[in-house]
Structure 1
């Protein structure tokens, strides 16, 4: 990457950060391109040159955000921690991210943009999920006879409940419930005899 491309990438990252921050705080419809430009320290023309429309900026910002989350999860997965510790951290981060995403994605994206964003994100998430399952099977934490679909449904079930609990105020009760859910996730409902 040459100097021009690095500068362009840095500007795009500034714009993504400003857009996500402002839209997260105020909502899509209440934030203008001028406000995003001011926070990113670029001109509104730069945003239009890079992204074309506010809607496209929003879609690409969300896509960029998903990429950053997956990158963080991949770093956790590549760490030397135990598989259960990795999964615990990933589940908690994902539940928090799901909450953040749905709290701040109320924009009127057109069908084409929404479909592009969803399909691109789903493919990235699916590939990461496959990596988790393979590692879990290799290390003996996931039974090899379970299908990917069943394992994925299991993960989604827990992530949905974690997200619900995280939406509550962070109280000791929520923390205790999350710990119990994590125990159930790894060991199931039945005690071994």
Structure 2
């Protein structure tokens, strides 16, 4: 990567960071390209040259943020933690991220973002599903997911738990939720009956 490409990449990261902060704080409608440019320390023309429109910047920024979250999940999956610990870390992050998305980023006029829903779905199919297949394969290999379970069923099960965690992810409730996560994860792996009696 030459100097020009490095400078361009740095500017794009600054724009993503500034737009994430502003969009999450004030919402899409109230933030202008000029405000993003000022916070990112670039010119508005630079933003238009790289992204074309505020809508495209928003979509690209969201995909960039999702890529970074997925990188975190990959790092956890490749770490030395046990599979239940990995599952707990990933599920907690995913629940938190889902709350951020639903609260801050996915409340916009659909007429302005006709392609964003399809882009998110495509992202999920291409990247999230690939990660989850790896997650399930590791769980099966380590004996935490039954070998007869399909990836689709395991993903649906994981999603049900994650969605419920996300629903309870509120500032006033986080401490209590964090205390209950170990019980929650035991329920996730062993059901209401608990581990089989030996």
140, 143, 146: which is aligned to 2:143? 140
Aligned-pair distance for 1:184?
Answer: 0.5
Please identify, of 160-169 and 57-66, the stretch whose mean Cα deviation from structure 2 is larger: 160-169
Give the equivalent residue in structure 2 for 1:73: 73
Relative to 1, partners in 2 of residues 1:32 and 1:4: Cα closer, same or farther, differing over 3 Å? same
Please identify, of 75-84 and 116-125, the stretch whose mean Cα deviation from structure 2 is larger: 116-125
Aligned-pair distance for 1:119?
Answer: 1.1
CA distance in 2: counterparts of 1:77 and 1:8, whole angstroms: 31
1:61-100, CA deviations, whole angstroms, 9 ceiling, x for partnerless residues? 0000000000011001111111111111000000000000
The two structures have a TM-score, normalised by structure 2, of 0.92
Give the equivalent residue in structure 1 for 2:155: 152
Give the equivalent residue in structure 2 for 1:130: 133
Contact 2:74 2:131 survives alignment (8 Å)? yes
Give the equivalent residue in structure 2 for 1:107: 108
CA distance in 2: counterparts of 1:88 and 1:47, whole angstroms: 38
Aligned-pair distance for 1:123?
Answer: 1.8
Unaligned residue ranges in structure 2 (runs of 5+): none
CA distance in 2: counterparts of 1:95 and 1:31, whole angstroms: 27
The two structures have a TM-score, normalised by structure 1, of 0.94
Please identify, of 183-192 and 142-151, the stretch whose mean Cα deviation from structure 2 is larger: 183-192
Runs of 4+ in 1 over 2 A off after TM superposition: 107-110, 170-180
Pairs aligned (count): 193
SS of the aligned residue for 2:29 comes to helix
Give the equivalent residue in structure 1 for 2:168: 165
Unaligned residue ranges in structure 1 (runs of 5+): none
